[in-house]
Amino acid sequence: MVERKKLKIYIPGIKFPSISLTGNYCSLNCAHCGRHYLEGMRKPTRRELVDYCAGLEREGYTGCLLSGGMDSRLKVPIDRYAAEIREIKRRTSLKLNAHVGFIDENDLEWVKYVDVVSLDFVGDDDVIRRVYGIDKTVEDYLRILDLLTGAGVRVAPHITIGLDFGRIDWEYRAIDLLTEYPIDVLVLDVLIPTKGTGMESVPKPSVEESLRVVEYARERFDGEISIGCMRPLGRWRVDFDRGAILAGINRLTNPPRKVIEWAKSVRDVEIIYECCVM
């Protein structure tokens, strides 16, 4: 049993919506996503964005995730909304989490206006090619981390356990690489085999294997460990969430209600209605 330290439970959907700046468009058709996850995001137009965010604050929202599909540059084109982001920050107190893609030095001008950058991180060149179908390497991801942490930008890397068509292996190296950076929270997701994608028929990673990655991250990483939004539902989520709590994670997103009630018996619990990286 872990020591009775606080567990922060994040429920973002109530006060922290996700916004796609590209609608349902993405230049990629990744094997695990296939643009599926853009469909559930809110989609104000560029002209509407500032007023839309001001309206969110009036309605009691505390922030939002700025995301979307990747363009031909392999970026989520948030740089083209730099003026709007500055205006959102001027007019509101909303917290902004930005999901960015392969950004470069030119993006430092706008990225300083967001509160945190969420960066999907993959620790194996072959997995990058198999899943995303792009000509990028682990070194490209590390360059982004060097750029952002060097500029003092808060970065929250996301590792998706089982991203390699359900197989688990590269995740351990990715965790080792990330321990070299000044990161205060590491997010662990787990592959959901999603209908209509190239991984529709892939078996879910097992709870036991997935928890071994969580335990390794807890052992190696000094910052906070968060279990993110994406992981299988049903009995799988109940068993995994309980195991992750006992393994000493600090943050847990959207657990089942029965897990929340059980968690209160083993940890001090705080419920937060924001993204888990805030």
CA distances for 151 relative to 75, 97, 181, 184, 221, angstroms:
19, 17, 13, 15, 22
The structural domains of the chain, ordered by start, are: 7-272 (3.20.20.70)
The mean pLDDT of the chain is: 93
Q: Which residue has the tokens 């006060």?
A: 15
- Whole-model pTM? 0.94
* pLDDT given at position 65: 96
Q: Is the pLDDT of residue 33 over 80?
A: no
Q: What is the DSSP letter of 135?
A: S
Q: What is the DSSP letter of 19?
A: E
Residues 163-174 have a mean pLDDT of 97
- DSSP sequence for 55-114: HHHHTT--EEEEE----TTSB-SGGGGHHHHHHHHHH---EEEEE-BS--GGGHHHHTTS
Torsion sign, CA atoms 185, 36, 18, 137: positive
Q: Is the pLDDT of residue 34 over 80?
A: no
First to last CA, the chain: 27
Tens of pLDDT, residue by residue over 233-278, are 999 999 999 999 999 999 999 999 999 999 999 999 999 999 999 9
